[in-house]
Chains A and B, each alone.
Chain A
Amino acid sequence: MANSISHYLNSFKACLNIDLAIKDSVAKELYTHLEDKSQELKETGLSEEEADKAATRALGPPELIAQQIYETHAQGSWQEAFFTALPHFLVALLFASYYWQNIFCISLVLMSTVGIAIYGWHKGKPMWFFPWLGYYLLPVIVTGILLIYLPQGWGWIAALIYIPLAVFVLIYIVKQTTRRDWLYASLMLAPIPVIFSWLLSLGTGNEFLMDNMWMARLQRAAPWVAITFLTLAAATISFVRLKSRWSKTISLLIPPIVILALISLANRGNVDFRGWLILTLSLLAFTSPAWAQRLGYNIRKGENLCEAKGSR
């Protein structure tokens, strides 16, 4: 493949965050177009290099085509939107119906989450898979936090062994997802700050391990918990249905941050230092894919045509 065509297609692919199979197919289609155009220009007397350059010029800026192709493929159907938001709806339903203490219901939701996450993994990780994966990972994170609150210093020892392993797994998965598209990583992590803000604002220290009062408070707050998860579901549906990347970003990032801020401020007296630390970390984790993307841009500045022109 000639240099200018190869460079053009690399720029195009770098700008396009969609399923790899679709991306490769579109790139191949553009390649066949450029090949035809270049061949036609060569027949008019241009050199190979000139013909390739003219062909890529005629096709237009790669980042613009990538953006338009993205907008075509990034918008999911209503069915897809509903299925992507379904885990949030299930959690909302658990709290709205006060079945969150029912071990059978919790197990059913948990098993469905695990089953659907595994199914999505084998189906090539489509967009709807990521919130399910987020809930699948949640027990790993919550266990780490519960370990911190074990009594008499044992917690820190257990946490020191467990947390690095959990963090490693989490970072690995977030990194892999960010490579595909950082928006999917944030989609996956969206419930985490919301769950933590509820978990930590309803009691200080180790209350939620030891104290029945914490359970009673959660029971009282259940309708509000349901509303926050319904808000997450609505944000997820907007994310899937919107076309432009910019509006997708807004619809995904703003609601969890606002929910976290509102719950934390309303219950600020109940959150201890460790609680604030965990809330801050969870917010950082949620927004980290966006920062990672930004950092990646700074490192590769000048190489990535798409980012440099801010076409996303």
Chain B
Amino acid sequence: MNYGRELLKGNTDSLLLYLIDLQPTYGYRIVKELEKRSNGYFQFKEGTLYPALHRLEKDRLIRGEWQTLPNGQQRRYYYITRKGQQALAKRLAIWQDFSTAVRAIIQPETI
């Protein structure tokens, strides 16, 4: 088992919700943004992104909308919903608590 991959898998939804909450965006840009913000640490498997986005949409945490760009290209933009914002806030709070607890054990001097 790849521990890093499992960690990413467990937190994919939160990362997606966070990025979509920052600004409405589309699939390809999400992949790029994740790579950029994590300095290349998160090499997101591109194909797994869309099932994850559709799952979030089905759970009504985000909604997708086709938009035509000025150059005529179409992109499916995702917007976070109120339910998505609430879910994100809850997940971020849990993550902060978890992270603090882990640091308290392995790096107590930093707390």
Contacts and interface: CB of A to CB of B under 8 A. Distances in A.
A73 interface: yes
A60 B73 contact: no
Contacts of B27: 29, 32-33
B74 A58 contact: no
Contacts of A36: 28
A40 B76 CA distance: 19
Contact of B50 (A35, A58, A61, A65): A65
A59 B28 CA distance: 10
A26 interface: yes
A7 interface: no
Interface stretch (B15-23, B40-48, B85-93, B98-106): B40-48
Looking at A29, A35, A37, A61, the one whose CB has the most chain B CB atoms below 10 A away is: A29
Chain B, interface residues (CB within 8 Å), range: 10 to 19
The interface residues of chain A, by DSSP majority, are classed as helix
A33 B28 contact: yes
Contacts of A68: 48, 51
A64 interface: yes
B75 interface: yes
Interface of A: 25-26, 28-30, 32-33, 35-37, 58-61, 64-65, 68-69, 71-73
**In the A-B complex, the 3 residue pairs with the closest CB atoms:** A60-B47, A68-B51, A36-B28
